[in-house]
């Protein structure tokens, strides 16, 4: 059996602007090309600056269900973890969302991060239902 990733501390649900959170890392709901687009990604690009996209471009891509980390540019967080969630209509969406969540936590652990802020991954343009997303992500944590 795997050791739990979250070992101590509270899980807090907050409605707000993830780009303004002072935390070890924030999670960007990304695409496989690692290109900052609209929504949360657009806010990260606007407030974090071009350095984040430059770092993402050097990484070259990420598979669905995976996660990679970059610096946070001008954001209050130290890092941005880019998690690629599924699009509705793909096979295995629930498993892919769970994987994107746990892979994000693994990147945070590798970086020595003690606090992380997640948005509702895949619920924007990717069309994942928010209640289903919440159940899967909280279960994964």
* Domains (range + CATH), the chain: 20-140 (3.40.220.10)
The gap between the terminal CA atoms of the chain, to the nearest Å, is 15
H-only helix segments in the chain: 39-48, 50-59, 93-110, 130-140
DSSP tag of 64:
T
Characterize the bridge pairing of strands 79-84 and 67-71.
Answer: antiparallel
pLDDT confidence band for 40 (50 / 70 / 90): very high
**CA geometry: angle 42, 46, 47, nearest 5 deg:** 120
- Give the ranges where 49-92 is alpha helix by DSSP (H): 50-59
Contact assessment for residue 51 and residue 73, using Cβ atoms and an 8 Å cutoff: yes
Tokens standing for residue 73: 């540019």
Q: Is the dihedral angle over the CA atoms 38, 43, 44, 49 positive or is it negative?
A: positive
Write the pLDDT tens digit of every residue in 64-92.
999 999 999 999 999 999 999 999 999 99
pLDDT digits 0-9 by tens, 6-39: 556 777 888 889 999 999 999 999 999 999 988 8
């Amino acid at each position: 059996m795997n050791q739990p990733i979250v070992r101590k501390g509270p899980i807090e649900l907050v409605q707000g602007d993830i780009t303004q959170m002072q935390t070890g890392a924030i999670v960007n709901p990304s695409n496989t090309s690692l290109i900052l687009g609209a929504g949360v990604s657009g806010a990260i690009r606007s407030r974090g600056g071009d350095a984040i996209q430059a770092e993402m471009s050097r990484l070259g891509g990420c598979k669905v269900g995976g996660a990679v980390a970059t610096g946070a540019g001008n954001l209050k967080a130290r890092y941005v973890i880019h998690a690629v969630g599924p699009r509705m209509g793909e096979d295995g969406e629930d498993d892919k969302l769970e994987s994107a969540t746990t892979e994000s936590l693994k990147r945070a652990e590798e970086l020595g991060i003690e606090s992380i802020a997640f948005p509702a991954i895949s619920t924007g343009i990717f069309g994942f239902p928010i209640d289903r997303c919440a159940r899967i992500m909280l279960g994964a944590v």
